[in-house]
Amino acid sequence: MAESNSLGPSPDRQPALTDTYFKHTRQIVTAHGDCVVEYAVFMRRPVTYAGRLAVAWLQSMCAHRKAEVTIEEPYAEGAWVGSGEVLCFLRGPLSALADLETIFLQRLGASCVAAYNAYNMCVELPGVAFLAMDARHCAGSDMADLMAYGASVGSRKATAKTCAIGFVGSSTDATAPFFGKEAGAGTMPHALIGYAGSTLRAAELFHETIPDAPLTVLVDYFGQEITDALAVANRFSDLAADGRLAVRVDTHGGRFVEGLDTAESYAVLDRHVPYATRGYRTEAELKHLMGTGVSVAAIWYLRETLDANGFEKVRIVASSGFGPDKCRIFSFARAPVDVIGTGSYLPEKWSETYATADIISYDGVPRVKAGREFLLRK
């Protein structure tokens, strides 16, 4: 797998990003006598282990300090880890490790949760390709690296276990190497369509300027998903016939896709997957099935319209809120989507990403704070 350049904070930058009490600890230990400690690192929820970026940063910092530190990882990258189980053990001088805890935990927990979510999404829709599009929703490039890396770990696990297609790329050049690609993927934002004045003209401008790139046209800008999808397919009928044209639906949740309302959405599902509406469904499931925005009904409606007009090879790309739960419903109702662009493997609650480290021994003597005895080596 190709590498990203996500190295984490440099030795010069690290002190400013570290909790002050850890820096005080390092100062005191250095002045009054060092000791060898062992940390146990865990999380309070199940995760998929994705520790490589965190471990690589810790190793580089310890090498810079010329400190001998042992990192024991009980689980392979991509393994399921239960709540409270130890993700890794760190053993070395307290003077070398004390003030590295803050950043190490930041870099560990988030990736593991992203990997867990991405795995579940890929398993739910094994025949669908995913594109990582989380960059705009991340608080800086470092977070974007951690999230994309986690998604790549979850994706590879899903591919290995279920032959899922998984994530095939990302939207930025910086994180593309995590998915084995040299460059980011994507064609146009809503801004280009606004600039062009019409969906069709935006597609023409893109194809004229970047003729060798795959053509995926965003069709929801004017609220005319069906009309604009057909206009683009007719204009680029050669690409459509060769399977080199895709339309992307990113309709927000404030309205239905063109031609649909609640009654018509029911009718669409009844034509294609009548079982989908027969049993008990939660409010959230009904929203994904036939509600506003990019619903199952919307995808089925777009697919049947394209097919009825002879555009069976035009692919459908969907985005907007595709987390694990939405992917589960799309799988249940066999939504005919080819690619999903998503950043929704990002944790809904950031508190779920909190990793915790506790020292469990000092110079070989077991000792841990009350309530954390479960971390002691058996």
* pLDDT of 279 strictly over 80: yes
Reported as a pLDDT band with limits 50, 70 and 90, residue 26 is very high
Strand partners, 276: none
Q: Inform me whether the pLDDT recorded for 321 exceeds 90.
A: no
DSSP calls for 5-38: ----S-TTTGGGGS-HHHHHHHHHHHHH---EEE
Determine the pLDDT at residue 187: 86
Domains in the chain: boundaries: 14-112+350-375, 114-342
| Per-residue confidence band for 186, with pLDDT thresholds at 50, 70 and 90 | confident
| CATH top class, domain 14-112+350-375 | alpha beta
End-to-end CA distance of the chain: 36
14-112+350-375 and 114-342 share one fold: no
> 88 — phi, psi (to 5°)?
-160, 155
Strands 215-218 and 80-81: unpaired
Do residues 146 and 110 lie in contact, with contact meaning Cβ atoms separated by under 8 Å? Answer: yes
Q: CATH 3.20.20.70: does it fit domain 114-342?
A: yes
Which secondary-structure segment (H or E) carries 366?
strand 365-366
pLDDT band at 216 (very low <50, low <70, confident <90, very high): very high
- Name the phi and psi angles at 341, rounded to 5: -95, 125
Closest among 231, 262, 233, 228 to 246, alpha carbons compared: 233
Structure tokens at 295: 């619903």
Average pLDDT, the chain: 94
Using an 8 Å Cβ cutoff, are 276 and 295 in contact?
no
* Residue 236: C-alpha distances to residues 189, 233, 314 (Å): 19, 5, 10
Instruction: Write down the pLDDT at residue 6.
Output: 66
Q: Name the helix (H) or strand (E) containing 246.
A: strand 245-249
Q: Are 268 and 297 in contact (CB under 8 A)?
A: yes
Dihedral sign (CA 257, 259, 264, 267): negative
Query: Percentage of the chain surpassing pLDDT 90?
Result: 87
Nearest 10 degrees: Cα torsion 270, 245, 148, 13: -140
* 8 Å CB contact between 235 and 204: yes
